[in-house]
A and B are shown apart, each in its own frame.
Chain A
Amino acid sequence: MAETGRLSAPAAPLASPVTLVRIAIVAAILVTWEAVAASGLLFRDVVPSLLVIGRATAGLLADKTYYWHLGVTAGEVGIGLLIGGLSGLAVGILLGSNRLLGRAFEAYLYYLGPTPKIIFFPVMIMWFGVGPGSKVAMGTISCFFPVALSAAAGMREINPVLIRVGRSFRASTWQMVTKIYLPAMRLPAINGVRLGLGVAIIGTLLAETKLSNRGIGFLIINAYSTFDMPRMYALLIVLFVLSIGVNAVVGRLGGVDSIRRA
């Protein structure tokens, strides 16, 4: 330990202190983890050696069936996002553009938004069966609310002058939506999609862990029931990397856009 401290000192010009702290934290976590794993005292069997986890991750990524399951889940999330996102966008635009409808119905969305969606799963199974249909439904329900709410908020933030400009050119409703509303509310819409994607992933995968025979959620719960801890860690690590990555990409789409516009 003391040696690493001495080694890092001359490296200072190469790496910023922040980077060094990051490396130190990661190293400390890994070393602690490995020590716990090797000692076998705490959390026996729950904390496998890093080497074992690494091997399991590599094995997972080399496994063709994993990609099939990933494809199933991605398809479910994608369709859920498409249906929930589009309907959320439509409802959001409607509620955001019409004062009466907004005041009549937005409170329902606002208060239903933060309820646990997974409890609808038994109902979705009855409606859409035990297959991918009910998973898609879970993804749809999950992402409908954040997309609708941020679309409605985005609509109201549109500069009213822009709407008057559109009206003055006698644009039709469809033209108003495609030429004024959607371009003007691109950022809140993208942000809504980002939030919606996050909860759609959660909704779909949780449903898969509850009742399914395919998909990443199924693989995770399967690793649990066979007590294959290294595989469970590998699945969770890959899942986290993927979802954080997708989130960052969507967020960047919004961010880059805002810079270009400014």
Chain B
Amino acid sequence: MIARAQRNLVPAALGFGALLAFIVFVEVLIRTGAVNRFIVPMPSQIAGAFERVIVEEDIPHRFLITAREAFWATVLLAVFGIGIGVLLYRVRLLRSATETWVAAMASAPTVLMYPLFLVIFGRSERTIIMMGFVAGLPAVILKTIEGLAGTRRVLIDVGRSFKLTEVQLFWKIFFPAALPTMFVGLRLGMIFALINIVGVEFLINFGGLGQLINDLAERYDLPGTYAAICFVILVSVVFFFLTDRLEKWLRPAD
């Protein structure tokens, strides 16, 4: 047990130590004047700016705005993404006609449509929510189809042998069998949505955390900008980590 804990501890310590060493190194570089402090603020300054930014810029409030946008985008993704996925799975012809289109949309730079959404919905939360939704939609649709299509033949046969109706077959066999894969899709969609929500907030200078970064940068508040960026990274890492855990918990079988 101890040996195992040590095995896990050494790489973690190395990773964290290297990160700390890097921060100290940057600090030294700036203090000695090797790096211009008006381009890169000292890490100690950034750390000092954290409290100021959290209090003065009301980060909790901005976080809630972004979280609210992400929540509505997720609701839209769950309803339309899973709904369209189920529809395409059930109507085979529609699926063979459009699945490649959906896949192509997944690789298209849909975020670039934000000026268009800006015209349609104005500089509002609706634009941001819709951008998040559009960015995540293909992943949710594709994973929903994948999950339903991956339902094992024998489980469907079990259902048929118990004389299940079509509706029962869907809700009692296909849906639960596809649920873990659907969640993988929903999580992917949520990640894309969050990336795009913060990005569009930054780009159109409206809303929560993304706007804060834009704001601070326009005010030339360097330590504040860096601190806000660190905070956004922290938020997405925590979000990513939690959903990652949730996903693993949902798939205990493998």
Contact = CB atoms under 8 A, between A and B. Distances in A.
Direct A–B contact in the complex, CB atoms closer than 8 angstroms? yes
Interface of A: 17-18, 21-22, 25, 43, 45-46, 100-105, 107-108, 111-112, 114-123, 125-127, 194, 198, 201-202, 205-206, 209-210, 217, 220-221, 223-224, 227, 229, 232-233, 236, 239-240, 243-244, 247-248
Contact of A243 (B93, B108, B114, B191): B108
Given A201-B109, A217-B112, A240-B108, A119 B210 contact: yes
Interface string B226-237: 100100110011
B217 A115 contact: no
Interface string B126-141: 0000000000000000
B119 interface: yes
A17 to B, nearest CB: 6
Interface string B195-212: 110110011000000100
A194 B104 CA distance: 13
Interface magnitude class on chain B? 35 or more
A202 B191 CA distance: 16
A236 B108 CA distance: 10
B213 interface: yes
Interface in B123-175: none
Q: What 6 A-B pairs come out closest when comparing CB atoms?
A: A122-B217, A103-B11, A224-B115, A104-B15, A104-B14, A21-B97
Nearest to A103: B11
Contact of A244 (B15, B104, B214, B240): B104
Most B Cβ at <10 Å: residue of A21, A217, A223: A21
B194 interface: yes
A222 B49 CA distance: 35
A214 B55 CA distance: 38
Contacts of A122: 213-214, 217, 225
B241 A115 contact: no
Most A Cβ at <10 Å: residue of B8, B112, B237: B112
Contact of A116 (B97, B113, B195): B195
A120 B229 contact: yes
Contacts of B114: 209
B39 interface: yes
Contacts of B115: 209, 220-221, 223-224, 232
Contacts of B112: 202, 205-206, 209, 217, 220, 236, 239
B76 interface: no
Main secondary structure of the interface of B (DSSP, over half): helix
Contacts of A198: 107, 109
Interface of B: 8, 10-12, 14-15, 18-19, 39-40, 93-94, 96-98, 104, 107-109, 111-116, 118-120, 191, 194-196, 198-199, 202-203, 210, 213-214, 217, 222, 225-226, 229, 232-233, 236-237, 240-241
Given A111-B240, A122-B213, A232 B107 contact: no
B111 A21 contact: no
Contact of A115 (B19, B113, B120, B237): B237
A255 to B, nearest CB: 13
Most B Cβ at <10 Å: residue of A122, A125, A240: A122
B233 A112 contact: yes
Contact of A105 (B15, B118, B194, B232): B15
B237 A112 contact: yes
A116 B128 CA distance: 14
A128 to B, nearest CB: 10
A221 B68 CA distance: 27
A239 B115 CA distance: 14
Given A100-B14, A108-B15, A17 B93 contact: yes
Contact of A236 (B113, B194, B217, B233): B113
B199 A206 contact: yes
Contacts of B198: 116, 118-119
A243 B42 CA distance: 39
A229 B119 contact: yes
Contacts of A232: 115-116, 119
Contact of B15 (A107, A115, A240): A107
B193 to A, nearest CB: 11
